[in-house]
Structure 1
Amino acid sequence: MKYRTLGKTGFKISEVSLGTWQLGGKWGDPFSVKDAQDTLAAAYDAGVNFFDTADIYQDGQSEHAIGQFRKTHDDIIISTKIGRKLPEQTAAGYSPDNIRQWIDACLQNQGVDVLDNVLLHSPSFDTYYTPDTFFTLDQLKKEGKIKNYGVSVEKVEQAIKALDYNIGSVEIIFNMFRLRPAKLFFELAKQHNVGILARVPLASGLLSGKYTLTTQFGPNDQRTTNRHGEQFDKGETFSGVDYATGVKAADELKARLHTDNLAATALRWILMFDAVSTVIPGASKASQISRNTTAADLPAPTHEQMGIVEDVYAQYIKNPVDYLW
């Protein structure tokens, strides 16, 4: 495992980290404490030291599981997101009182006195024009409750606006089906010494290359329930790509890149961008960890292969994805 610096935070974090939305379960399945601890241990043994969670993941159980793991592995770094407990995403919801309540709950869930990294969890656009939200986080740093903070965004323009504040990192959807961040944001992030956390790196599994038009997902799976943004921003599901189009594009990538392991290839492709500090694939059980962590050891894609990704994106994905996010 190789490590990169997460912007101005100074944290040295693994190029491949672990996203814990599915930790101990899978897309809505019941939470398993044993599976959670086994998954965390497998990731740690593979060199992963950065774990991405949120206060709403498994209703706090994800944070609690990582906090328990940290008691015997105190060299890991936990990044947690706050704000999705709101019934509706509004700037007013990110009030100083709410932020403080969320932070205190995270401290309790993780069993710590200070949080390594806190991200606002995809807040509404007007939140970025409410300075008091970010000034509250500055104050919490001064008080020693958080070490660093940043934002998890839906749109490139939100990431750009967030650079006005004292953020250390931005979590943004970036993958072979979402190229716009690299063109508009990455260089700005480097200029501000802000680290980039690449989330949804496999486009909800489309970039595994294993899905077909007949693949079925569970009734509680957001790949079933949120394809049109019924629950939250549709860009979170399949990166906003029409499912049938995504299957076709993934099949073409496999053929033109001559790979039967598109998932690892897709993760390695993200790491070609030096603005990216880490890529955050998820896993619900220990056996899935090596699939992700070994991706960093693959040979770097060639110039021709990078061009193939651009070509497939332009042909299948750019309209409308490039114009929406």
Structure 2
Amino acid sequence: MNYRKLGKTNFEVSEIALGTWQVGGKWGSSFNNESADELLNAAIDKGVNFIDTADVYENGLSETAVGRVVRSRSERIYVATKCGRQINPHVNEGYQPKVLQKYVEDSLKRLQLDTIDLIQLHCPPTEVYYRPEIFELFDKLKKEGKIQNLGVSVEKVEEGLKAIEFPNVTTVQIIFNLFRQRPSELFFKEAQKKDVGIIARVPLASGLLTGKFSEKSIFDSKDHRFFNREGASFDKGETFSGINYELGLIAVNELKKLFPEVTNLAPLALQWILNFKEVSCIIPGASTEGHVMSNLSTLDLPLLNPEKIAAMNEIYEHYIKKEVQHLW
């Protein structure tokens, strides 16, 4: 495993970390504690030391599982969680310091840890980034020892740029992958200037970049890849990175032609991200131990050569850019 500094947290975190939206069961299925424990332990066994969860993942069961496994290990494991998405309706007015403080305290109880290494606002409405009192709350929580660092998870580049104007924001979690390249233009440079850690989320475009899907693939009715393609429940950028599914398959087929010997594109897609030194870590999700091993196999690959990277980028330029670049 390789490690990189997570901005001004000064944490040295594994390049390939773990996102836990699906831990304990695939999207749409019931939570399984045994499966969650096996998956989390497998990741830690391989050197993963940064785990990202949220209070809304499986209604808190993901946090509970993460805390249980972390407490059972001797290694230093950094835990990041998120707050704010419980607010319903999810609007600016619902974001109040007392509300957010209660969410943080509830997360601490579920995790059963002494402190939260990184608490992140969970994709709040854009207006929230213009309210200093929201960000000031987390200075208070840090003084109380409930948290160590504040970060944000954002939908848009503009939100990330606004968030890092607040000096206590140490990390930004942003969708970044081969099919969502805009953050690497201005945002990466500005974040680096302010020593803000960049956490790349949705790195495989909801599995699209594994190359395992086709026109015949069927998704469970409770899976966001089935019901949220047009943003019916939340920002459509969370689902297949906002790309039209059929167009995405066409672009993926071009990737397969570029790597005809490869049956699983996921490690190549993750390695493409690691080529950006501004990225602190990637948080691919996993619902099986096999997914964890697939993600970590990225580190065993020979480095992509400049010609291959240029060809991958050309696929984005030709098929994807005009569909997503201006939206997020």
TM-score interval, normalised by the smaller of the two chains: over 0.9
Partners of 1:201 and 1:279 in 2: CA distance: 7
Amino acid at match of 2:158: E
1:107: which partner in 2? 108
2:173: which partner in 1? 171
2:322: which partner in 1? 319
Give the deviation of 1:37 after TM superposition.
Answer: 0.3
Partners of 1:158 and 1:257 in 2: CA distance: 35
Is 1:98 the equivalent of 2:99? yes
Amino acid at match of 1:310: N
Amino acid at match of 1:222: H
Give the deviation of 1:293 after TM superposition.
Answer: 0.9
Query: Which residue of the other structure, out of 255, 264, 271, is the alignment partner of 1:268?
Result: 271
2:234: which partner in 1? 232
**Structure 1: which 4+ aligned runs deviate by more than 6 Å?**
none
Partners of 1:209 and 1:287 in 2: CA distance: 16
> With structure 1 as the length reference, what TM-score do the two structures score?
0.98
On the 8 A contact 2:117/2:147 being kept in 1, the answer is yes
Write the deviation string for residues 243-265 of structure 1: whole angstroms up to 9, x where unpaired. Answer: 00000101101212443331110
Partners of 1:63 and 1:210 in 2: CA distance: 29
Partners of 1:237 and 1:263 in 2: CA distance: 17
Alignment of 1:291-302 (within 5 A): 291-302=294-305
On the 8 A contact 1:169/1:197 being kept in 2, the answer is yes
Write the deviation string for residues 113-157 of structure 1: whole angstroms up to 9, x where unpaired. Answer: 211100100000000001110011111112211000110000001
Write the deviation string for residues 166-202 of structure 1: whole angstroms up to 9, x where unpaired. Answer: 2110000000000000012111111100001100000
2:255: which partner in 1? 253
Partners of 1:88 and 1:313 in 2: CA distance: 35
Amino acid at match of 2:8: K
Give the deviation of 1:296 after TM superposition.
Answer: 2.2
> With structure 2 as the length reference, what TM-score do the two structures score?
0.97
Amino acid at match of 2:61: Q
Mind listing any 5+ residue stretches in structure 2 that lack a counterpart?
none
What is the aligned length?
A: 325
On the 8 A contact 1:234/1:240 being kept in 2, the answer is yes
Q: Secondary structure at the match of 1:136?
A: helix
Give the deviation of 1:51 after TM superposition.
Answer: 0.4
Partners of 1:94 and 1:298 in 2: CA distance: 44
1:43: which partner in 2? 43
Alignment of 1:1-325 (within 5 A): 1-74=1-74, 75-165=76-166, 166-258=168-260, 259-325=262-328
On the 8 A contact 2:71/2:113 being kept in 1, the answer is no
Mind listing any 5+ residue stretches in structure 1 that lack a counterpart?
none
